[in-house]
Structures are given as structure tokens and as C-alpha cells.
Amino acid sequence: MTKTKEFRVQDRRLLFKCPSCGARRNSIIPDIRRKTIRCYSCGEMIKCLFDRRPEPRTSHAGRLLMKTRDGREIEVILKDISSRGIGVELPNGKFLRHLSVGDEILLSCSWNPNLIADPRYIVRNIRGLRVGAEKAQRA
């Protein structure tokens, strides 16, 4: 069974470290998001997800309140956050019809009000129940 692991890519270079044997390899990666790599040392197959973000995102867990463009309030699950955006997961698929790419949403966090300094975000992608949003630019 293949394992899935996320690797950071900087300047198109990947520092690969096998999760099974610890062997390392430094290589140049084309502009792709995922690839299965075989470890040259132990032969283990690893599904690799390539993270090219300039700043790393940190994983979080907790519930946020999301307000959509039509005034609906949805409790979502916080997955990760960075200085430029946020990733949340919807509780079920019935809320997908209230969201589309480009919509402005408002997020609030009751358990840590300092976590989200500016509540305005723009939806950038929707994959399944996962929603990625970028901080809205101030006018």
C-alpha cells in the first residue's frame, strides 16, 4: 500500500526523505502537484503532494462560523491557516450551493478571537467539502 506525504518545494527543488528508511534525495520537480515516487534505497512507493507555497501553512482544528453572501451562517471546521489564506471543511454537501469561487465570506472564531484578525475572505477553490479562501484585499 502506498503512503501519501506532503513535501515542500522551494525554487523547483524537492528534498525527498523516504518515510520508511529515511533515505534522502534532492531533485528538481516540474510544475506538478502530485507524483508517486519510488525510494531508490528501499523501493517503497510514496504518493507525494508538492507544496509550493512561499510560507508554510499550519494545521489547526476547531470550529468557525462562516457567513455567506446570502446571509447564511454555517459552522465549518478549520483545517489550516497561513498569513495569506485559510482552509475549512463544510459539515455536509447541502451548503455547497450557497458557495462559489469568487464569493466573499466572513469568518469568526469564538474560541480564539485573535486567530482571525480580518474576517473577510474570498473563496479561491472548492474541492469536495474542502474550501480554500484567500484574505480579501482592503479597499
User: Tens of pLDDT along 108-128?
Assistant: 998 888 888 889 999 999 999
For the chain, which domains are there? 3-51 (no CATH), 58-135 (2.40.10.220)
User: Tens of pLDDT along 70-102?
Assistant: 889 999 999 988 888 999 999 988 888 889 999
**126, burial (CB in 10 Å: exposed 0-12, middle 13-18, buried 19+):** middle
Name the 3-class secondary structure at 98: helix
Q: Which of 131, 124, 134 is nearest to 95 (CA)?
A: 131
Cβ atoms 86, 92 nearer than 8 A: no
Name the 3-class secondary structure at 47: strand
Q: Among all chains, which residue has been given the C-alpha cell 510514496?
A: 46
Mean pLDDT of all residues in 41-58: 82
